Amino acid sequence: MQTIVAPRLHPSHRNPGHPLKLVVLGDSLIYGFGDPEGGGWVERLRRQYMLPDSPGHVLYNLGVRGDGVKQVEERLEHEFRRRGELRNRVPDAIILSVGVNDSARVGRPTGRNYTDFDSFQQELANLLDQAQRLCPVLFVGMVPVDETKMPFLDCFYYTHADQYRYKEATRLACLRRQIPYLDIFDVWMNRGTSWWTKQLSSDGLHPNVMGYRALLEDVLDWEPFHRL
């Protein structure tokens, strides 16, 4: 069973009655690649928050295709500091989602990982520590890939074994810092191969329209997200 830990909210970021400002940083899973209809789960949620009867929360989609943990770490504070909007207020929370690109094998199925595991752990620690110094943080994990569709771009080999290793390192790093982690990999895998393979695009890596719909529902059903 997934352990749910409540985010530690900074008092200065709690402003009841006012819409939240959220920055969402990561890779193509945040960018929404593969969803020409709705633009991904973040864009779908952003549109919901623009409806007249919504709470009016503001989401900034700061996903960059191909980003790994180091790239997100390098741009985190710069992006955060420039999303305050009114009276120099900074955003209320950060949602992170990154790591799958780091896990890929380069050139061949037994090649080196795009980011070696030790470097990944150190850069991830830096990212999480930096983010926590800024505001409350949530982390949305990676979706499983379809190994039969590899290689991606004739170069990158993604496997469940590598995904599991990197996502477990992320989950444990979040747990140590009391950062809520949504383990999408395990959630989707537990629904069965016949289900999750239908949620992926033909490249075997990115969710399709149905996949992003499902991903949004998983985020909306996640208790730590509601606690924001």
Asked if residue 11 has pLDDT above 60, the reply is no
User: How far is it, in rounded angstroms, from Cα 92 to Cα 52?
Assistant: 22
Domain ranges of the chain: 18-227
For 18-227, CATH gives 3.40.50.1110
Asked if residue 184 has pLDDT above 80, the reply is yes
Band of pLDDT at residue 10, cut at 50, 70 and 90: very low
According to DSSP, the β-strands at 156-157 and 105-106 are antiparallel
Structure tokens at 146: 């379809």
> What is the reported pTM?
0.91
Q: Is 38 exposed, middle or buried (0-12, 13-18, 19+ CB in 10 A)?
A: middle
pLDDT tens for each residue of 76-118: 999 998 886 655 578 999 999 999 999 999 999 999 999 999 9
pLDDT tens for each residue of 152-171: 999 999 999 999 999 999 99
Range name among 85-99, 127-141, 187-201 with the lowest pLDDT average: 85-99
